[in-house]
Structure 1
Amino acid sequence: MTRVHDMGGRFGDGPVDPTDRAYPPRAEPWQTRALTLTLAAGATGLWNIDMSRRAREAVDPKDYARFSYYEKWLAGMADLLVETGAVSREELASAGEGLSQCDELDPKALRAEAVPGVLARGGPADRDSAVMPVFSPGDAVMTLRPAANRLVDGGHTRLPAYAAGARGRVLRCHGAHVLPDSNAHGLGEAPEPLYAVAFAASELWAAPEHPRDEVVLDLWQSYLCPA
């Protein structure tokens, strides 16, 4: 059974609006503060981007379904703050009452003037790796089934459920990149080859509107086997 966030190909969630932006407009002050808190907390180095994705996916399904975009961010961050020991559940519940204000920021704190540069640099995930590519452009491959983390039972993975067990062809190798399945659980970056793989729409969907369309997914080598 797929998790609540893995919505690709699922019925009953309504139409996708192609005019939606990747990051919803921050129309209310609290939404801007949610983004600010996420950046500031991430700058502490207590977790990585894959851990933050894992935390958002782990939000209770009932809450995940009713929370807005930035509410999901805040819920995941709150869980990570407790998980890493940065704050206690009691401190979160107190809404900051009784907490003293520091006169000086921690040296790792993200200053306002540094934010544009941090956002511009992003977080590159390409790495050197001893794991050699085993597939080449044009190779036929199959994705593993089910779409599951093979390192941690029930853990984070970037293989979408709708593509599990599907046949595709390799378009290119992007080089070695951090493996989310490992990095999301503090097991190390474990970089391995990452491929762009093309799947026919008819391979993924029962009744595609345009069967000859293709879906291209970036997939790690451990998600694939020869077709």
Structure 2
Amino acid sequence: MSRLHDMGGRFGDGAVVPDAPDAPVFATDWHARALAVTLACGALGKWNIDVSRHARECLSPKDYTRFSYYEKWISALADLLVETGVLTPEDLKGQSGDGLHALASAALRAEAVAAVLAKGGPANRPSAIAPIFAPGERVKTRHPGGSALVDGGHTRLPDYAVGACGQILRQHGTHVLPDSNAHGLGEAPEPLYAVAFPASELWAHPEHPHDEVVLDLWQSYLQPLEPGAQI
């Protein structure tokens, strides 16, 4: 299944133009509000970060291609709020009745924001799955790519790295598997690795063939490299 949002490393979208050093964090006020509302709603505990990422991926192709970054965020948030029963379409239209929402007591208060953001959301978990790769070992990402658990589902294996050969730099411990966590299938923690790929392995005509791209990839994304294969 084509994953429209999987745009990393794609040719033809033009150069990446960094913001000026003195550029504001948010281009407009509503961008800041979109981020704040998304974080506040996430604090209600009705979904996890992988569910929210997949919600953005599930926007219609027409909307995904025409929406700006924060339009994607706020549109996916609206979908999540309805899908999880937090709000109704009428609520979003301002047509619901007055009264205190059932989740009002779980609201993220202004005075708690700094502590919540500082705490973060660590994804390292104990796991019964032992690491099978060691630093320095050569590996290949699985092919085909996409989710191996849910058709058209969420995965953190980018399309441009599917079937590519790289080398293990380090093992990060065991972490929640997004492919499972995004679909209510459990956290399914497994070993996570930093893997270095030569640019020449990822693209047919890289501008700098000897550059490296380092990706954090879960063990189920990787296979041992066949004997004699070259990177």
TM range, normalised to the smaller chain? over 0.9
8 A contact 2:142–2:221 mirrored in 1: yes
Q: Is residue 44–residue 103 contact of structure 2 (8 Å, CA) maintained in 1?
A: no
Displacement of 1:104 in angstroms is 9.3
Hey, which bits of structure 1, 4+ residues long, moved more than 6 A?
none
1:197 matched to 2:231? The reply is: no
> C-alpha offsets along residues 65-86 of structure 1, whole Å, 9 cap, x if unaligned?
1111111111111111111111
TM-score, structure 2 normalization: 0.91
How far apart are 1:32 and its partner, in Å? 2.3
RMSD, matched Cα: 1.9
Name the structure 1 match of 2:56: 56
Question: What are the residue-to-residue correspondences of 1:14-163 with 2, within 5 Å?
Answer: 14-19=14-19, 25-92=25-92, 95-102=93-100, 106-163=104-161
Deviation string for 1:40-60 (max 9, x for gaps)? 110110000000000011111
C-alpha contact 2:3 2:152 (8 A) present in aligned 1: no
Distance 1:32 1:9, change over 3 A: closer
Structure 2 unaligned segments of length 5 or more: list them.
226-231
Identity of aligned residues (%): 66
Query: Aligned equivalents of 1:200 and 1:2: distance in 2?
Result: 25
Cα distance in 1 for residues equivalent to 2:39 and 2:3: 26
Structure 1 counterpart of 2:169: 171
Equivalenced residues, count: 223
Could you tell me whether the CA contact under 8 Å between 1:2 and 1:161 is conserved in 2? Answer: no
Unaligned 5+ residue runs, structure 1? Answer: none
TM-aligned CA deviation for residue 99 of structure 1: 2.9
Alpha-carbon separation, structure 2, partners of 1:79 and 1:14: 31
Counterparts of 1:96 and 1:41 in 2: how far apart (Å)? 17
